[in-house]
Chain A
Amino acid sequence: MSSLQSFLHMGGYAIYVWPAYVLTFIVLILNVILPLKREGQFFRALVERKKRLEKAQ
């Protein structure tokens, strides 16, 4: 067995070790992406509102 294979195999515990790591990183990444996306939406909405107000004048 190559060293990469044996690393991925995790001594037979691969089905427990890797999901734990993958899950952790999914949750950590989502917690960064979602607020950034919300902030972007917030500013876009503000710019839209400003444009509408300028048009109305």
Chain B
Amino acid sequence: MFEYFYKYGSPRHFYDLSKMFVPWLGGICLILLIAGLTGGLFFAPPDYQQGESFRIIYVHVPSAWMSLFIYVVMASAGAISLVWKVKVADALARASAPLGASFTFLALATGSLWGKPMWGTWWVWDARLTSELILLFLYLGYMALQTAIDDRRTAARAGAILSLVGVVNIPIIHYSVEWWHTLHQGPTITKLDAPSIHPSMLVPLLIMAFAFMFYYAAVVLLRARYEILENERNSAWVYELTEQRKG
């Protein structure tokens, strides 16, 4: 098993795999995006309370979900690179940070655009909003740490520890709407009983969530591939790649 793991965990193989998978993942993402947007913008009926403004949900909620999901992936990859010193895991963690930060920013910004017409304010120090803002700072802190430390192995270790400590924020964000009854609404979909949302509204939301998932998979491979190239710039196989590109 470990032989297999090392073979496909090797930078060289990872590069080839990335080349192979990115177009497929990207293609699936595009199809899902078109389906989700059509469903969300055209077919879903307006909300009985919020009217058309609720359509922000189709970018807001998937972004927020991705911001948490990517953090967990980043911390897990960090843990793997910390324990087994797998270069590819470190590359995945590094590549995840800017994507996670982007989705966190989008969750906050689209939430703000939704909050203004519905709550009457762009921002409020609500538990959900504040903990999500802390998540953004965790991502930015991780990225700053990576640029500040020149030695790759030290940076990988420091980043992994930072991201693992930050994991404590993830359940806080998730349960914030239950622990503190402030302004942000409670969960609609991830409840144990049936979701309190009509299928015509729910299906496009789930499709958008899958689209974002495939987007992340495609782009994280693209970014991790670059991290690997940078790291291995002096190795023979990267040198061979330039031969192919010239020809």
Measured CB to CB, the residues of A under 8 A from B are 7, 10-13, 16-17, 19-21, 23-24, 27-28, 31-32, 35-36, 38-39, 42-43, 46-47, 50
Do residues B52 and A47 form an inter-chain contact, with CB atoms below 8 A?
no
Q: In this assembly, does B131 line the interface, its C-beta being within 8 Å of a C-beta of chain A? A: no
Do residues A12 and B51 form an inter-chain contact, with CB atoms below 8 A?
yes
Contacts of B98 in A (CB 8 A): 31
Contact of A39 among B109, B113, B215, B229 (CB under 8 A): B229
Q: For the complex of A and B, list the 3 residue pairs with the smallest distance between their C-beta atoms, beginning with the closest.
A: A11-B52, A13-B53, A20-B110
Do residues A46 and B238 form an inter-chain contact, with CB atoms below 8 A?
yes
A46→B105 CA distance, assembly (Å): 34
Q: In this assembly, does B239 line the interface, its C-beta being within 8 Å of a C-beta of chain A? A: yes
Secondary structure of the B contact surface, majority rule: helix
The closest CB in chain A to the CB of B57 belongs to A20
The closest CB in chain B to the CB of A25 belongs to B59
A57→B192 CA distance, assembly (Å): 70
A20→B233 CA distance, assembly (Å): 39
Measured CB to CB, the residues of B under 8 A from A are 41-42, 46, 51-53, 55-56, 59-60, 63, 98-99, 102, 105-106, 109-110, 113-114, 116-117, 215, 219, 222-223, 225-226, 229-230, 233, 238-239, 241-242, 245-246
Do residues A16 and B56 form an inter-chain contact, with CB atoms below 8 A?
yes
Min CB distance, A1 to chain B, in Å? 14
Name 18 interchain pairs, CB-CB below 8 A, sorted by A: A10-B52, A10-B55, A11-B46, A13-B52, A13-B53, A16-B56, A19-B113, A20-B59, A20-B60, A20-B109, A24-B59, A27-B106, A31-B98, A31-B219, A36-B222, A43-B242, A46-B233, A47-B246
Do residues A17 and B241 form an inter-chain contact, with CB atoms below 8 A?
no
Min CB distance, A37 to chain B, in Å? 10
